[in-house]
């Protein structure tokens, strides 16, 4: 399955949608498939600072707890309370209903390092054999 064309991707399997001076962040379909049934989300509070490549939260599945990494430096402006209440949305709708947080970006340079969809699909394919 191809990853959505309008998004950027990290090597830690987050997706990023750039929207003016904010970004929306979630985890990819590949990531949710690797994790299996998602049971719990731990996300930062609105107003919290986040740093590029540092953990911003945790996604738990039945089997394991995994960090979610911030793709950028910035400040959390919104988080998806529906996904927090119903973590299984991450399995059923990783790119839409289960976006995780919105971050106001303080350093746009980090966005240049993100992968495009074709590059990510190749990367994700290699990491799952």
Partner 1 sequence: MSGEEQGAETRETPLTGRHRALGARLIPFAGWLMPVQYSGIIQEHKSVRSAAGLFDLGHMGQVEVTGPDALAFLQWVASSDISTLNPGDAIYGMLTNPTGGVIDDIIVYRHPDATAGYLVCVNASNRDKDVAWMHQQRAAHPEWNVTVDDISDTTGMIAIQGPNAEAIVQSLTDADLSEYRAFQWLPATVGGVGVMAARTGYTGEDGFEFFCDISGVGKLWDVLMAAGEGHGLVPVGLGARDTLRLEARMPLYGNELADDISPLEAGLGWAVALDKGPFVGREPIAAMKESGPPRRTVGFRLVDRGGSPRHGYEVQVDGRTVGQVTSGAMSPTLGENIGLALVERGVAGIGKPLDIIVRGKPVRAEQVKVPFYKRDR
Which of 6, 10, 4 has its CA nearest to residue 71? 10
Which of 123, 11, 28, 19 has its CA nearest to residue 71? 11
C-beta of 105: minimal distance to partner 1 in Å?
24
Cβ atoms within 10 A of the Cβ of 38, count? 24
Report the residue from 2, 20, 81, 128 that binds partner 1 according to the rule CB under 8 A: 128
CA–CA separation, 31 vs 85, rounded Å? 20
Q: Which stretch binds partner 1 (CB under 8 A): 18-26, 43-51, 102-110, 121-129?
A: 121-129
Determine whether 4 is exposed, middle or buried from the number of CB atoms within 10 Å of its CB (0-12, 13-18, 19+).
middle
Q: Which stretch binds partner 1 (CB under 8 A): 30-38, 70-78, 93-101, 104-112?
A: 30-38
CA–CA separation, 22 vs 90, rounded Å? 21
C-beta of 36: minimal distance to partner 1 in Å?
6
- Interaction with partner 1 in 61-120: which residues (CB under 8 A)? 61-66
Q: Which residues pair with 6 in a beta bridge?
A: none
Q: Write each residue from 45 to 64 as x if it is in contact with partner 1 (CB under 8 A), else as -, in one continuous string.
A: -------------x-xxxxx
Report the residue from 7, 8, 13, 73 that binds partner 1 according to the rule CB under 8 A: 13
Compute how many residues bind partner 1; rule: CB under 8 A: 21
Residues that bind partner 1 (CB under 8 A): 12-13, 31, 34-37, 39-40, 42, 58, 60-66, 127-129
């Amino acid at each position: 399955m191809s990853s959505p064309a309008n998004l950027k991707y990290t090597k830690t399997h987050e997706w990023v949608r750039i929207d003016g001076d904010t970004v929306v962040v979630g985890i990819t379909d590949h990531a949710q498939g690797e994790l299996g049934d998602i049971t719990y989300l731990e996300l930062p509070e609105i107003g919290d600072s986040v740093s590029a490549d540092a953990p911003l939260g945790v996604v738990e599945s039945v089997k394991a707890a995994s960090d979610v990494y911030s793709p950028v430096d910035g400040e959390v402006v919104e988080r998806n309370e529906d996904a927090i209440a119903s973590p299984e949305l991450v399995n059923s709708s990783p790119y839409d209903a289960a976006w995780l947080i919105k971050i106001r970006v303080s350093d746009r340079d980090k966005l240049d390092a993100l992968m495009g969809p074709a590059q990510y699909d190749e990367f994700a394919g290699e990491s799952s054999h």
